[in-house]
Structure 1
Amino acid sequence: MRWLWTPAWIARHVAMVVLVVGFLGLGWWQVSRATAGNSISWGYAVEWPIFAGFVVYVWWREVKLARRNTAEADAPPADPADVPAAELAVTTGSRPGVRRPVRVSRAPATGDAVEDADLAAYNHYLSWLNANPGARPGDYPG
């Protein structure tokens, strides 16, 4: 538990305490306003403690995540020969070490390439724009 007392964690603890106390104080302030006759403050009186609960939840989740990461770092490394590659990727949370490129065929799927008239017109327009770099799209003659 020594890792909970590093400067970064002390700042997180202090921020959590300040936010929770501040949010609960704002909730109490809204309750006092609501009892004085401001009916919309009842909604805020419920909302501020929910914010405080969310801060506590995020803080607790970060503590659990840091504890899990510390336990994984302290554990002895598993022998990769004993563990299948798919299970090793799942347990370590990373991808397998060897990745192969995806091969994509550049040939058309059918033997006879059917030309789309709209696609041919658009390609002609793009080649005209490329041949005339100073021209505006409205200058296209086609």
Structure 2
Amino acid sequence: MKRSLLTPRWLLLHALFVVAFIATCFLAVWQWERAHDAGGSFQNLGYALQWPLFGVFTLFLWVRMARMTLHDEAEAAAGQAEDTAGQEPAEEPERAARAGRPRPLVPPQAPPVDPDEDPELAAYNRYLAELNEAEGR
């Protein structure tokens, strides 16, 4: 399961996150030194304290993305295990999309509205139907 974190895409992401974290550390040190120079200000001090937060957020995103990938794979493996057991699981569109199956481009048609039930919605639906017919011509 953890092999997916060693694909070329993920290796590039690992490198990107490591470089981003190291860059935020260097920027924090640079701003800290700058704040203590003769021309430094409280703005530099603020940046020196802010850059480590960006670095921690970068690490948080890295861990979060890896966990999401592993979780999606575990769900897909569980879904395949259910499929091989002869049971067809009822999936909602979000789960199907995460498992790699595309959602339908057009949503299913809504049931017709009874004019007695909601006259405004029925009138609006008739208007939309007229626009659709006019566009088709």
For residues 106-126 of structure 1, give each alpha carbon's deviation from its aligned partner in whole angstroms, at most 9, with x where no partner exists. 68839xxxxxxxxxxxxxxxx
What is the CA distance between 1:101 and its match in structure 2?
Answer: 1.9
Q: Distance in 2 between matches of 1:32 and 1:73?
A: 50
What root-mean-square deviation, in Å, do the aligned CA atoms of Structure 1 and Structure 2 show?
3.2
Q: Distance in 2 between matches of 1:106 and 1:46?
A: 63
**Could you say which structure has the larger radius of gyration?**
1
What is the CA distance between 1:12 and its match in structure 2?
Answer: 0.2
Corresponding residue for 1:109? 119
Relative to its length, the structure with more helix (as a share) is 2
What is the CA distance between 1:92 and its match in structure 2?
Answer: 4.1
Higher relative contact order (CA 8 A, sep 6+): 2
Q: TM-score, normalised by structure 2?
A: 0.62
Q: Distance in 2 between matches of 1:51 and 1:91?
A: 31
Corresponding residue for 2:4? 3
Residues paired across the two proteins, number: 103
What is the CA distance between 1:58 and its match in structure 2?
Answer: 1.0
Q: Distance in 1 between matches of 2:114 and 2:94?
A: 35
Give secondary structure in 2 for the equivalent of 1:77: helix
Q: Percent identity?
A: 29
Q: TM-score, normalised by structure 1?
A: 0.60
**Unmatched runs of 5 consecutive residues or more in structure 1:** 111-142
For residues 15-61 of structure 1, give each alpha carbon's deviation from its aligned partner in whole angstroms, at most 9, with x where no partner exists. 00000000110000000011114122011001111111111111111
Change (3 A) 1:67 1:47: same
**Unmatched runs of 5 consecutive residues or more in structure 2:** 98-102, 121-137
